[in-house]
């Protein structure tokens, strides 16, 4: 092809060994990392990967084939408040739970779960496995419940403010199409960009310096300060304090702690934080926490971080909070779906599952939850069709994707799949 169709075919032939005759243009790679192009008289440094970079690329490419779960990180270094008690998805941290298999008589104090009665596998909905209960509904000691409740005394008021149509606090929506409700100076142009700037500041627990904002957005410091000022004017004055919701960097809470100018937003309601706080308290309360978990799902309006500004939000990949929140929504909805199916409340089971599908429309376990709900509603053939679609979901090569062990276990429990 190279010899017969010169200049018309993009073809490269890798030659190793002592080949003397080379057809076409020759690019010679040396053991020292040089690229020689004899006919052009060029001796260049070849672009390459270090051993660590190559291993990283291989691990990244292999990741889609990994089917096992990994622990949710708890990246916050807070020593007080609700963040000190929760992982990044809002679940109670592992060092404060008791595994379900530990007998009650072995614990130093009473501990509770949502599914208190430890149902036998045969009593569980097909999609809610014993391993799910171990991961999503561990035992929470009573002192941890008290600690969680006392660490977040403003949660109920913040939730009321979020849903109140006349709330005077700014609100940032991220659990769906990103949006901001604010009461300061209206923004006429580039609103998607300024939503992104606010989200960047709001998601950084300890605020951000002007240099950090400039790096994240690829701007100079002058442009950065101008952008932050626009957001400051947009958020307006906090009626509770008489100060700006976004103070000058030298006057923020973080600046007082760190001794350097830091941008930090005050009294901003963020649906991600509300979801995590509700999940934390709901899990800590056991059976009494169902209302908190249901309220958390009410915050979800679509796939987290959807309808983003084109070409923006590159900094989000470093935080991974978008993926963590999809996992959190799916986990909460999965547990509630199982709980409501056990309780016979099929309507609320469907509501929980449909919320998870808003956030994760392609999640196989959520689709199986939908099949279980549909079967409980009496639509057996429709439920079977949903399972068939899960089993035959095409991979990138067009062939049915291989289900993982967890999905396989759930499907094996569905003894109603085969038509009678």
Query: Do 141 and 175 reside in the same domain of the chain?
Result: no
The proportion of the chain whose per-residue pLDDT surpasses 70, expressed as a percent, equals: 95
Give the pLDDT confidence score for residue 1 in this predicted structure.
Answer: 74
pLDDT in tens, 91-125: 999 999 999 888 877 888 999 999 876 566 667 88
Whether residue 402 is contained in a domain is answered as yes
In the chain, % helix, strand, coil (3-state, to 5) comes to 50, 10, 45
Whether residue 79 is contained in a domain is answered as no
Number of structural domains found in the chain: 3
Whether residue 156 is contained in a domain is answered as no
pLDDT in tens, 62-84: 876 665 667 888 888 888 899 99
Whether residue 277 is contained in a domain is answered as no
Whether residue 295 is contained in a domain is answered as no
Whether residue 291 is contained in a domain is answered as no
Give the pLDDT confidence score for residue 118 in this predicted structure.
Answer: 56
Whether residue 132 is contained in a domain is answered as yes
Average pLDDT over the chain, rounded to an integer = 91
Give mean pLDDT, residues 131-159. Answer: 95
pLDDT in tens, 334-353: 999 999 999 999 999 999 99
Least confident span in 7-21, 45-59, 128-142, 377-391: 7-21
Give the C-alpha separation, 154 to 162, whole Å: 12
Of 244, 270, 296, which residue is a domain's last? 270
Query: Do 259 and 343 reside in the same domain of the chain?
Result: no
Whether residue 133 is contained in a domain is answered as yes
Query: Do 190 and 242 reside in the same domain of the chain?
Result: yes
Give mean pLDDT, residues 128-155. Answer: 94
Of 245, 270, 295, which residue is a domain's last? 270
For CA atoms 65, 69, 71, 76, the dihedral sign is positive
Q: Which residue has the higher pLDDT, 272 or 257?
A: 272
Yes or no: say if 27 and 38 are a contact pair by the CB < 8 Å rule.
no
Give the pLDDT confidence score for residue 420 in this predicted structure.
Answer: 42
Which domain, by its residues, includes 139?
92-151+320-413
Give the pLDDT confidence score for residue 253 in this predicted structure.
Answer: 92
Query: Do 186 and 212 reside in the same domain of the chain?
Result: yes
pLDDT in tens, 162-192: 999 999 999 999 999 999 999 999 998 999 9
Query: Do 30 and 97 reside in the same domain of the chain?
Result: no
Of 236, 270, 304, which residue is a domain's last? 270
Query: Do 264 and 349 reside in the same domain of the chain?
Result: no
Query: Do 180 and 263 reside in the same domain of the chain?
Result: yes
Judged by DSSP in three states, 120 sits in coil
């Amino acid at each position: 092809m190279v010899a017969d169709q010169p200049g018309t075919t993009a073809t490269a032939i890798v030659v190793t060994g002592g080949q003397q005759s080379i057809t076409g243009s020759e690019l010679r790679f040396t053991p020292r990392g040089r690229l020689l192009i004899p006919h052009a008289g060029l001796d260049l440094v070849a672009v390459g990967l270090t051993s660590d970079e190559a291993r990283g690329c291989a691990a990244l490419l292999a990741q889609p084939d990994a089917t096992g779960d990994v622990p949710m990180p708890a990246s916050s270094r807070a020593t007080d408040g609700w963040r000190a008690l929760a992982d990044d998805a809002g679940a109670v941290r592992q060092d404060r739970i008791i595994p379900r298999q530990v007998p009650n008589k072995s614990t130093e104090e009473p501990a509770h779960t949502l599914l208190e009665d430890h149902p036998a596998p045969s009593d569980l909905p097909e999609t809610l496995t014993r391993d799910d209960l171990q991961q999503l509904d561990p035992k929470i000691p009573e002192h941890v419940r008290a600690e969680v409740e006392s660490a977040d005394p403003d949660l109920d008021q913040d939730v009321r403010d979020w849903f109140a149509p006349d709330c005077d606090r700014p609100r940032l929506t991220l659990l769906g199409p990103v949006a901001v409700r604010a009461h300061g100076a209206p923004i006429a142009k580039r609103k998607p960009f300024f939503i992104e700037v606010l989200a960047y500041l709001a998601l950084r627990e300890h605020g951000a310096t002007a240099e950090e904002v400039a790096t994240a957005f690829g701007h100079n410091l002058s442009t950065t300060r101008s952008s932050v000022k626009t957001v400051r004017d947009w958020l307006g004055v906090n009626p509770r304090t008489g100060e700006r919701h976004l103070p000058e960097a030298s006057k923020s809470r973080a600046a007082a702690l760190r001794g350097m100018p830091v941008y930090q937003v005050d009294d901003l309601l963020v649906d991600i934080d509300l979801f995590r706080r509700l999940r934390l308290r709901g899990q800590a309360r056991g059976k009494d926490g169902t209302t908190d978990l249901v309220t958390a799902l009410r915050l979800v309006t679509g796939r987290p971080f959807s309808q983003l500004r084109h070409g923006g939000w590159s900094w989000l990949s470093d935080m991974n909070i978008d993926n963590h929140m999809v996992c959190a929504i799916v986990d909460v909805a999965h547990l509630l779906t199982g709980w409501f199916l056990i309780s016979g409340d099929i309507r609320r089971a469907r509501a929980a599952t449909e919320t998870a599908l808003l956030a994760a429309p392609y999640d196989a376990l959520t689709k199986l939850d939908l099949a279980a709900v549909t079967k409980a509603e009496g639509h057996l053939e429709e439920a079977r069709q949903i399972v068939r679609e899960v089993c035959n979901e095409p991979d990138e090569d067009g062939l049915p994707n291989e289900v993982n062990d967890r999905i396989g276990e759930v499907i094996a429990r569905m003894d109603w799949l085969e038509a009678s």
